[in-house]
Amino acid sequence: MTWLNAMNDRGMGRGAKVVSGTIRDSLHMVDVIFGLDGGDLPEIVVSDTGSYSDLVFGLLELLGISYRPALADLPDQKGWRINGSADYGPLNTFARGKIDLRKVKRNWEDILRVVASIYTGTVRAYDVVTMLQREGHPTALGEAIASYGRIFKTLHILQFIDVDETYRRDIKDIRNLQENRHSLARKICHGKKGELHHRYEHGLENQLGALGLVLNCATLWTTVYLDAAIRQMKAQGYPVRDEDMARLSPFVHSHLGVHGTYTFALPDLAPGAIRDLRDTDNAEDDDEI
């Protein structure tokens, strides 16, 4: 089973979906985005290669979301052109695909109906995506949406490899956040060496849903206390550099104890207050939370 989790750029999970079997993530990713636990839709979506397809590229762009997947085997990716006779110099080999805009124009009204149905929640994106493919091959409407998506896929690759270093760095930062959150999930679920996908017992979906809540709690707790620690260090005159703060992560987990007895009694603190920070020079203060 696969647990698809949507998180924001602060590391907080906003929605998830459990997918059974080995079906491609891309068939479910749009549903996860449109099933977030409140708040606005994201303006930008970053994913791994497993959640990518040309069809998803087209759907997300039509839905007003900038899609920026971290594509594997980037040197072998195909670029797409509209003008077959255009000379792109060194990029001619890359731009070896040809987009037929006539397919898009012929199906434009149906494309708009599909997009409106997903946006309003009339149908699930998964049902739409499966309807647009037959035995692994796109229908005429599916090919039209995929053709539209290839325009933006090509622009995405060009911007990633050559135009904008900030664009590339932002994608890498989000992917690191995603991987670090996954590491924290493994820690909470099974300990440091456990693997999340080894859980197959009854009630998996409910357990993973609860895991998302626990992950958010751990992320929030760590963020609050990292901020408090920084404030205290500055107040005590320690040199705190911006470049060091930029490398802090809300997904550190050495302080989390996943085994043993748990207590859910509220601490005797005023509303909004936090407990005293540990004294790093005192070995007795070096226990896990």
Q: How far apart are CA 35 and CA 14, in angstroms?
A: 9
pLDDT of amino acid 273: 84
List residues bridging with 4 in a β-sheet: 17
Residues belonging to the chain: 289
For residues 45 and 60, the answer to whether their CB atoms sit within 8 Å is yes
Domain boundaries, the chain: 2-163, 198-285
Say how far apart CA 275 and CA 264 lie, in whole Å: 15
- 8 Å CB contact between 256 and 207: no
- Burial (0-12, 13-18, 19+ Cβ within 10 Å), 133: middle
From first to last of its 289 residues, the chain has per-residue pLDDT tens of 667 778 887 777 777 777 765 556 677 888 888 888 777 888 998 887 767 788 889 999 999 999 998 888 888 889 999 998 999 999 999 999 999 999 999 999 999 999 999 999 888 888 888 888 877 688 999 999 999 999 999 999 998 887 668 888 888 888 887 777 777 776 666 554 444 443 334 344 455 566 677 777 888 888 888 888 888 888 888 898 988 888 888 877 777 766 556 666 777 787 778 888 877 666 555 554 4
Question: First and final CA of the chain: distance in angstroms?
Answer: 30
Instruction: State pLDDT tens for residues 211-256.
Output: 677 777 888 888 888 888 888 888 888 898 988 888 888 877 777 7
Q: Give me the torsion for CA of 250, 252, 255, 257, rounded to 10°.
A: 100
Dihedral angle at the C-alpha atoms of 262, 267, 271, 273, nearest 10 degrees? -100
CB proximity list for 3: less than 8 A, separation 6 or greater: 16, 17, 18, 19, 185, 196, 208, 211
Q: Answer yes or no: are the C-beta atoms of 194 and 186 closer than 8 Å.
A: yes
Whether the model clears a pTM of 0.75, i.e. scores above it, the answer is no
Q: Which neighbouring-strand residues pair with 66?
A: 44
Angle at 254 between CA 251 and CA 258, to 5 degrees: 95
Q: Which residues contact 240 (CB under 8 A, 6 or more apart)?
A: 230, 233, 234
- Tell me the residue type at 181: R
Beta bridge partners of 2: 19
Residue 77 main-chain phi, psi, to 5 deg: -70, 145
